[in-house]
Chain A
Amino acid sequence: MSDPVLSVNELTVSFGTRRGRAKVVNNFSYDVGEAETLAIVGESGSGKSVSSLALLQLLPTPPARVEGRALFRGADLISMTKSEIRGVRGNRVAMIFQDPMTSLNPVRTIGFQLMEPLKIHMGMSDTAARARAIELLDTVGIPSPGGRVDDYPHQFSGGMRQRVMIAMGISCSPDLLIADEATTALDVTTQAQILDEIRRLQEEMGLAVIWITHDLGVVAGIADRVVVLYGGSMMEESVIDQIFDERRHPYTRALLESVPVSGGDRPHRLKAIQGLPPDPTRLPPGCPFAPRCRHAVERCSNDAPRLRAPAEGHRVACHLDPADFHD
């Protein structure tokens, strides 16, 4: 692989709470390469959103404390000054959020909001920015963009708004796009349209994408590589096929087994994961998944497993070998 676009090293994010420090992300390290899609998978509270908000300095500090490094094209995002990060955010690294209704300003037209980054980051004139805004709306598949550019967010449907968010994200031709549950709020048919759009844009622009989601189906369709997070720690990282085929980590395995697969003709009982995700203020001393793990041995609850590499490009944090799994 050539030089990665983003290289995150030992990222740790914690929050001060009345019940003590909540460690939400623990020593999280990963790389994203050119034109690559990295999926970060996890349940709510696994730290997947917080870790990416921390990259763009979008967390209020305090209460948050961010440690570690995140090299974007050689420059560390975490230690940048406010004005430096402002030059990167929305310009070279863009982010799309889950809820397109709350992330658009309801009292400004779509055009105004699309033109804003163009004028700030690219120094475009009003007329040039407006022309580019219309072009962008066309790129993301909004019909008659010239007529829609002066509409307000409430005049768009959910899927359309998410397309506008994508248009805003790619407006300054970023190197990296972070999509945080970007299709979760949408219907499956709309989701399929948006995923297609992202794939197309990625091919055209050579964009690197971090796709944050809890939906393993979406991951299977869009990702090149997958990182599985649980309780703020990385459980497994690998190229897409290995994650699904080998299922080396018990959590990955349990997650894949707990979703119903449509097309199976005989109803089988789902293998649910018992228990609840851990409380970040009281993380277990060993592996965060140990209390819910079917295969856990004594060692798992005392000794946190380190990431090891069973194969090239595959990292797993588990004491056990799949051969030890007694299903």
Chain B
Amino acid sequence: MTETLLDVRDLRVHFPIYSTGIRRKEVARVQAVDGVSLSIGAGETVGLVGESGCGKTTTGLAILRLVEPTDGSVSFDGDEVGNLSKGELRKLRKRAAMIFQDPFASLDPRMSIGDSISEPLLIHKLFPDRNDRIDRTCQLLEKVGLSPNYRDRFPHEFSGGQRQRVGIARALATEPDFVVCDEPIAALDVSIQAQVMNLLEDLQDELGLTYLFIAHDLSAVQHLSDRVAVMYLGRIAEVADRSQFSAGLKHPYAESLLSAVPIPDPHLERTRERILLEGDVASPLDPPPGCRFHTRCPYATERCSNEEPSLRDLGGGHQVACHLYD
């Protein structure tokens, strides 16, 4: 594998819940992310999938310290992100950017898209000359497939797909090495999703970007990623690379998640076996002891409800957190 760019160790993000009243006492904790370890090599795309509420977005935010991690370490290119001062953090955010899910909410409606894209340049004092900044903005717009003439237009004048392109241009403005893409295609139409996925791939080839691609759409994640990490209730259940993924996922949750993805082929849909999960995801307020999936797992044994499985390597970097593979 290439050089490691990002190394996340035992990351935890807990959100305290306080009682109402004057003496706000902590009454519970939402354990959104609870012991995630993941490393990403330079130029690699790692996909992070899971159902809503599994902590995938919070993981992405915590890596960039957009939410403060409760515990654990994140090291970016050798620097410990948790120890950075405000000024150093600003430098980090020049190198590590984020593309957000909702292209309607992530752009300021009162700023022209040109201003939105050039704001990071202003903050990082990258192109002090106004004309240079405008040139750079135009260049970025072209790079994401929009006309530079759109510079003075406002977000409401664009479609969802175009807005997502603006969001991508803004993220790329400071020439980052690493981009967290949080559900960048979920809000888009089917015919537009492919356009944006191709754009992300082209930009990676051109600029040598490293992606953390967060999504709930397993087929999109698998298409874009070199490695896929499956999350369940704040923990990573399985990490597999492309060939291991095609050979078959091992963790019972990952297996059932994959089998729930509808396939656009009626012949396959009629014949394939589906693993239907019973019930809903347990609450991250009070996660079950032992393996967090044991309440819904068809193979659960007594050990699963007592003992927490750790991620173990099955060879070739294929990691699974399940007692079945001891």
4 closest Cβ contacts across the A-B interface? A217-B262, A260-B223, A272-B194, A262-B219
* A-B CB contact pairs (8 Å), 6 listed: A44-B189, A187-B216, A217-B264, A220-B266, A262-B261, A273-B194
B51 touches A189 (CB 8 A): yes
Query: Which of chain A's residues 167-193 have a Cβ closer than 8 Å to chain B?
Result: 187-193
Query: Does any Cβ of A come within 8 Å of B66's Cβ?
Result: no
Select A270's contact among B197, B260, B268, beta carbons within 8 Å.
B197
Q: Is A206 an interface residue (CB 8 A)?
A: no
Q: Which residues of B contact A188 (CB under 8 A)?
A: 51, 216, 218, 257, 260-262
User: In the complex, what distance in Å separates the CA atom of A7 from the CA atom of B41?
Assistant: 58
In the complex, which residues of chain A have a beta carbon less than 8 angstroms from the beta carbon of B161? 276
For residue B301, CB closer than 8 A to chain A, the reply is: no
The verdict on A271 contacting B262 (CB below 8 Å), with A187-B52, A261-B219, A276-B161 known, is: no
Secondary structure at the B interface, as helix, strand, loop or mixed, is helix
Are A43 and B190 touching (Cβ within 8 A)? Answer: yes
A274→B267 CA distance, assembly (Å): 29
Question: What is the chain A residue whose CB lies nearest that of B272?
Answer: A221
Beta-carbon contact of B260 and A160 below 8 Å: no
Closest-by-CB residue of A relative to B226 is: A267
Counting CB contacts under 8 A, is A215 at the interface? yes
* Contact, CB under 8 Å: A192 / B223: no
Name the B residues within 8 Å of A254 (CB-CB).
Answer: 191
- The answer to whether B197 and A244 have CB atoms under 8 Å apart is no
Nearest Cβ on chain A to B283's Cβ, whole angstroms: 10
Residues of A within 8 A of B149 (CB): none
Query: What would 8 more interface pairs be, CB under 8 Å, given A217-B263, A259-B194?
Result: A188-B257, A189-B51, A195-B262, A217-B261, A220-B264, A259-B219, A262-B258, A276-B161
Beyond A215-B262, A241-B266, is A262–B222 a contact (Cβ under 8 Å)? yes
> Does the CB pair B280–A160 fall under 8 Å?
yes
In the assembled complex, the Cα of A62 lies from the Cα of B137 at a distance in Å of 44
Contact digits for B243-263, partner A, Cβ 8 Å, 1 yes 0 no: 100100000000011111111
B220 CB–A CB distance under 8 Å: yes
**Interface status of A219 (Cβ within 8 A of chain B):** yes
Query: Which of B197, B246, B269 has most chain A Cβ within 10 Å?
Result: B269
- Minimal beta-carbon separation of B65 from chain A (angstroms): 28
Which partner residue on chain A sits nearest B222 by CB separation? A262
Assess the A221–B262 pair: CB atoms within 8 A.
Answer: yes
Measured in the bound complex, the distance between the Cα atoms of B218 and A258 in whole Å is 15
Q: Please tell me if the beta carbons of A187 and B51 are within 8 angstroms of each other in the complex.
A: yes
- Kindly list chain B residues whose C-beta atoms are within 8 Å of the C-beta of A327: none
Which of A43, A240, A262, A277 neighbours the largest number of chain B CB atoms within 10 Å of its CB?
Answer: A262
- Per-position binary interface string of chain B over residues 45-56, scored 1 when its CB falls under 8 Å from any chain A CB and 0 otherwise: 000000110000
Whether A260 pairs with B197 at a CB distance below 8 angstroms is yes
The verdict on A157 contacting B280 (CB below 8 Å), with A187-B52, A262-B219, A270-B194 known, is yes
B310 within 8 A of A: no
B187-198, CB under 8 A of A: which get 1 and which 0?
001111111011
Interface size class of A (residues with CB under 8 A): 35 or more
Q: Are A258 and B194 in contact (CB under 8 A)?
A: yes
Given contacts A187-B216, A188-B218, whether A220 and B194 have CB atoms under 8 Å apart is no
Using A273-B194, A277-B191 as known contacts, say yes or no to A262 and B265 having CB atoms under 8 A apart. Answer: no
Q: Contact: B52 with A189, CB < 8 Å?
A: no
- When A192-B274, A193-B276, A265-B243 are in contact, do A43 and B194 touch as well, CB less than 8 Å? no
A18 at the B interface (CB under 8 A): no
Q: Which of B161, B191, B260 lies at the interface centre, i.e. has the most chain A CB atoms within 10 A of its CB? A: B191
B242 at the interface (CB under 8 A from A): yes
Most-contacted residue by chain B among A143, A189, A255, A267 (CB, 10 A): A189
CB contact between A191 and one of B220, B260, B263 (< 8 Å): that residue: B260
Task: Name the A residues within 8 Å of B219 (CB-CB).
Answer: 259-262
Contact at A193–B264, with CB atoms within 8 Å?
A: no
The reply to whether the CB of A126 lies closer than 8 angstroms to some CB of chain B is no
Q: Is the Cβ of B264 less than 8 Å from the Cβ of A192?
A: no
Given A214-B189, A267-B223; A241-B195 close (CB under 8 Å): no
